[in-house]
Structure 1
Amino acid sequence: MTADKYGRPIVNFRISLTQECDLECFYCHREGQEHSHSNDLMTPDEIIKIVKIGTEFGIKKVKLTGGEPLTRKDLSEIVQRLSSLSQIDEISLVTNARQLSLDRAVELRLSGLNRINVNLPSVNKDTYKKIVGKDIEPALAGINSAMEAKINPVKINMVLLKGLNSDDVKPMMHFAEDIGGILQIIELEPLKKAEEFYKQYHYPLDDLEKDFSAKASNVTVRKSMQNRRVYTLGNLKVEIVKPVENSDFCMHCTKLRLTSHGKLKPCLMNQETIDVITPIRRGEPPEVVQGLFRKAISHRKPYYTSIGIPAVE
């Protein structure tokens, strides 16, 4: 397993399959990519070649994102081929679930999909529509499809937005508990957004986390996922994702990202990318791409840092 110069291993590979999406959520960070209408996406063959090389550096978990990954008709093929790699322990999907029919959910599970994260900013139909611009019913139907297909547990991603859904935490907790899911509450990041936007919608999670800590019957720490805390509240688990100005979060990051156009991205908050798709399309030997992985890993640096965090020589 390869670690960066801060001693952080590379375990998780977050792959954007497309920038296409059927929603226009105004807070979306687009996986740190500049928006592009290009259809020059990676093929399943190219994705597998890149992931295979990534496993040589310790990658064990793959998360498929977008845009909206369900817009790709070859999604099940990609999942199936990833699941055939012995080094990959887990394949998960981030989706808005609006295009997730029962048949497709079953197909994905049988192809090897282990988990699903559904972006759902609110269960209040008016709030949902205000945030994403469309009705909530297709999203709820997609969540039901995942449950019926036994892709369990469903994790609900809720980006907390001040003045929009910041009063919806309890209803979201009840919803997640009712479906036997996990609620993941995510702090809004200032990525590529104007300062005014961030000030208007950013909702600090500190008080919420203190409340959960006081009420939880158990608290665990996901050490391979940025030291995130998971609170057990009755029959529900609530995970807090609090990255802003959080050096501990960054110092326990084990992710490397791959953009939809085949570029490695060492950090979500940094615009640097390293092109790996071009040498693959030129038919260059694996050693070339291995070198680019090493470069990406060597360029990883905690975005939020505490004074005195040393690099490992």
Structure 2
Amino acid sequence: MLQDNFGRRFYYLRLSITDVCNFRCNYCLPDGYECDHDRDFLSLAEIKRLAAGFASMGTEKIRITGGEPALRKDLPDIIQACKQTNGIKTVAITSNGFKLAEHLPTWVDSGLDALNVSIDSFDPRQFQAITGKDKLDEILSGIDNGLSSGFTNIKINTVLMREYNAHDINSFFNYVKDKPVSLRFIELMQTGDNKDFYQQQHVSGQHIKNQLLANGWLPTIRHKAAGPAEVYAHPDYQGTIGLIMPYAKDFCDTCNRLRVSSLGKLHLCLFADEGLSLKEQLQIDDPLPLQRRIMSLLNDKQATHFLNEGFTGATKHLSMLGG
């Protein structure tokens, strides 16, 4: 079992398969994607070995991220490979949702269990101002198509920003009134490239939590392989509301996830000092060297991410690791 020196167990792997993204979100890649390395992204064979190695040490859930994972043409094969790995119970994707209606049926056929879609505003003009893309209606249609076909394990990720969406919280509540989706508000996090933007736009999720509790929303039980959100449900709403507040006290106490970059580097935290290469161990089918390497590196995992001290580690922008 993957367990660190603080007794935390790691059931959840966030696996980036590319750092390329075709959106220009103002909090992540406002100037668009710029490659500063060789695109030696993990191959399908390496991903199979990686998934098997983590699964053999207790990992039950793999979330495929980017950049934008749908930019890889072999994404269905990657989903299938992860899903067919012995011990992996859940395969999820985080996507910006471009061409979602076209892609989702293939992903589901390949074994996809869960989908997260990034939507930071339900106002088309505001959505375009945030992302640089006039795609909101198309993305929402893709979600509706998925729901109507019976694929209901859908979450929406919304990054809270003072000037762009924090004033319009009710539109997000209204969306989940009659839709069985989980909408999660994520506090804007400081990264290496967005310090000024962070200082201008960061807003705490605590006021939303207070609003939820004051209006009859109740916390739900958190599964051991779940993400970091505090999720709340209400009997009058089909959907749920989640909060991801990385600046909250003791946020890291329940950490259950590790990250591997598209270049095959293990990141013990989203804001770790550096990625630690697993590439050498991914060249052979024998899982033991990979297991030993991961267990050895896990000894260096820290108790907290030190975000409150302004520490951002090696994370220049969230597209590097998919958040």
TM-score (norm 1): 0.88
- 1:29/1:178 CA distance change after superposition, 3 Å: farther
Superposed, which structure 2 residues align to 1:131-146 within 5 Å?
131-135=130-134, 136-146=136-146
Query: What SS does the aligned partner of 2:120 have?
Result: coil
Query: What SS does the aligned partner of 1:101 have?
Result: helix
Moved more, 36-45 or 269-278: 36-45
Moved more, 11-20 or 192-201: 192-201
Picking from 264, 267, 282, the partner of 2:266 is 264
What residue is the counterpart of 1:232 in the other structure? Answer: 233
What residue is the counterpart of 1:127 in the other structure? Answer: 126
What residue is the counterpart of 1:153 in the other structure? Answer: 153
**Offset at residue 302 of structure 1 (A):** 2.6
**Offset at residue 147 of structure 1 (A):** 2.4
- 1:256/1:81 CA distance change after superposition, 3 Å: same
What residue is the counterpart of 2:294 in the other structure? Answer: 293
Listed one character per residue, the Cα deviations across residues 53-86 of structure 1 (whole Å, up to 9, x for unaligned) are: 1112211100010011111111111111111123
Moved more, 263-272 or 187-196: 187-196
Moved more, 122-131 or 294-303: 294-303
Percent identity over the alignment? 27
| 8 Å contact from structure 1 (residues 266, 297) kept in 2 | yes
Q: Distance in 2 between matches of 1:91 and 1:98?
A: 20
Query: What is the one-letter code of the residue matched to 1:220?
Result: T
**Offset at residue 280 of structure 1 (A):** 2.4
Q: Distance in 1 between matches of 2:36 and 2:176?
A: 34
Listed one character per residue, the Cα deviations across residues 81-133 of structure 1 (whole Å, up to 9, x for unaligned) are: 1111230010111001112234x311211211001000000110111011001
- 1:168/1:46 CA distance change after superposition, 3 Å: same
**Offset at residue 215 of structure 1 (A):** 1.3
Q: What is the aligned length? A: 299
**Greater relative contact order structure (CA < 8 Å, 6+ sep):** 2
Listed one character per residue, the Cα deviations across residues 149-197 of structure 1 (whole Å, up to 9, x for unaligned) are: 4321321100000111112221122123333211111011112245432
Query: What SS does the aligned partner of 1:80 have?
Result: helix
- 1:273/1:29 CA distance change after superposition, 3 Å: farther
Query: What SS does the aligned partner of 2:184 have?
Result: strand
| 8 Å contact from structure 1 (residues 216, 231) kept in 2 | no
- 1:257/1:216 CA distance change after superposition, 3 Å: same
Query: What is the one-letter code of the residue matched to 1:274?
Result: L
What residue is the counterpart of 2:256 in the other structure? Answer: 254
What residue is the counterpart of 2:80 in the other structure? Answer: 80
1:167 matched to 2:172? The reply is no
What residue is the counterpart of 1:303 in the other structure? Answer: 304
Listed one character per residue, the Cα deviations across residues 275-309 of structure 1 (whole Å, up to 9, x for unaligned) are: 1123323x48533222221123212213257xxxx
Unaligned runs of 5+ in 2: 307-323
| 8 Å contact from structure 1 (residues 80, 111) kept in 2 | yes
What residue is the counterpart of 1:310 in the other structure? Answer: none
Pairwise CA RMSD:
2.2
- 1:142/1:21 CA distance change after superposition, 3 Å: farther
Q: Distance in 2 between matches of 1:238 and 1:29?
A: 26
| 8 Å contact from structure 1 (residues 100, 145) kept in 2 | no
**Offset at residue 221 of structure 1 (A):** 4.4
TM-score (norm 2): 0.86
What residue is the counterpart of 1:241 in the other structure? Answer: 244
Q: Distance in 1 between matches of 2:2 and 2:204?
A: 34
What residue is the counterpart of 2:62 in the other structure? Answer: 62
Query: What SS does the aligned partner of 1:238 have?
Result: strand
- 1:223/1:181 CA distance change after superposition, 3 Å: closer
1:16 matched to 2:16? The reply is yes
Query: What SS does the aligned partner of 2:64 have?
Result: strand
Query: What SS does the aligned partner of 2:2 have?
Result: coil
**Offset at residue 148 of structure 1 (A):** 3.8
| 8 Å contact from structure 1 (residues 19, 36) kept in 2 | no
1:25 matched to 2:25? The reply is yes
Unaligned runs of 5+ in 1: 306-313
What residue is the counterpart of 2:187 in the other structure? Answer: 187
**Offset at residue 211 of structure 1 (A):** 1.0
Q: Distance in 2 between matches of 1:145 and 1:295?
A: 45
Q: Distance in 1 between matches of 2:65 and 2:217?
A: 32
Query: What SS does the aligned partner of 1:167 have?
Result: helix
